[in-house]
Amino acid sequence: MPDMDAGRCCDIDESRIGEKFAQIGLVFELLKTKVWGQNGIDGLFLNPSIARGVAVSYLHDIDRMKDYHRFELIDEAKQACYWIKWIIREKPVQFDLAVAGVKSDHRLANEEMAVVMACACLQVSPTLISKSFIRLLMYTFHFRRVDEDSLLPLCDLLWRLSKSHRAGDIVIKTPL
C-alpha cells in the first residue's frame, strides 16, 4: 500500500493551483455574463479565498487518487466528480443580499457552477442536457448529500455520450 504521507499529494505546485483557480474564474465569468446577468441576477461574486481552496482541495483529491492507484492520469468523469464535490462543499460563489436584484431563490448559484464546471471538464455542451434535468441536478446537489462516488455513474454517462458519434443527436431529459 502506498505511503499517503509521502509524494506529490502533499506538495501542490503553485502553478497548478493558479491554473485551476483560473478555470474556476472563467466558468464564474461565463455564468455571470451569459446566464445570471441575462436573467437580472446581480450581486454575485467569486470569493477568491474560497475558490483557491476549491482548487487546492480538487488537486489534493486528484493527487491522492494518482498516488494510491498509481495512475498517471485521472479520467474526465472522476475529475468532474471532484469539481462538483468541492464546489458544492465550499461554495465559492457568494451573493450580497444588500445588492438590488439578488433573488433569494438564486442560492443555487454554486450548484449551477458545479454543473457547468462538470460539463466543461467532460467536454459536454450543456445544450445536450435539458433544463429540467439541470434543475434536478442543482436541486440534488443543494438538498441531498452527494459524494464523488455517487456522482461517478452520471459523469461517466455524460462523458461517454459526449464521445459517441451520435452525441449531437442525444438530449438528456428527465422522465417527468
Question: DSSP string of the chain?
Answer: ---TTSSTTS---HHHHHHHHHHHHHHHHHHIIIIIGGGT---EEE-HHHHHHHHHHHHHHHHHHHHHHT-SS--HHHHHHHHHHHHHHH--EEE-TTSTT--GGGGGHHHHHHHHHHHHHHT--GGGB-HHHHHHHHHHHHHS---HHHHHHHHHHHHHHHHSTTGGG--B----
Let me know if residue 3 belongs to a domain: no
36 found inside a domain: yes
> Is residue 89, in this structure, part of any structural domain at all?
yes
Q: Where in the sequence is the domain holding 156, given as residue range(s)? A: 14-169
Ranges of residues in the chain with a pLDDT under 50 are: 1-9, 165-168, 175-176
pLDDT value of position 149: 85
Write down the pLDDT at residue 97. Answer: 74
| Predicted local distance difference test score (pLDDT) of residue 95 | 84
| Rounded CA separation 156/133 (Å) | 16
128 domain-assigned: yes
Measured CA to CA, the distance from residue 3 to residue 171 in angstroms comes to 44
The predicted pLDDT at position 167 comes to: 46
Total residues found in the chain within this entry: 176
Residue 140 lies in a domain: yes
pLDDT computed for residue 110 by the predictor: 95
Q: Which pLDDT does position 176 carry in this prediction?
A: 44
95 has which bridge partners? 44
Q: Check residue 10 and give its pLDDT.
A: 54
Q: How far apart are CA 154 and CA 134, in angstroms?
A: 12
Domain membership of residue 174 (yes or no) is: no
Specify if 95 maps to a domain.
Answer: yes
The count of structural domains within the chain is 1
Distances (CA, A) of 30 to 7, 103, 112, 174: 35, 19, 12, 25
Contact 83, 15 (CB under 8 A): no
Domain membership flag for residue 2: no
Phi, psi of 43 (to 5 degrees): 95, 5
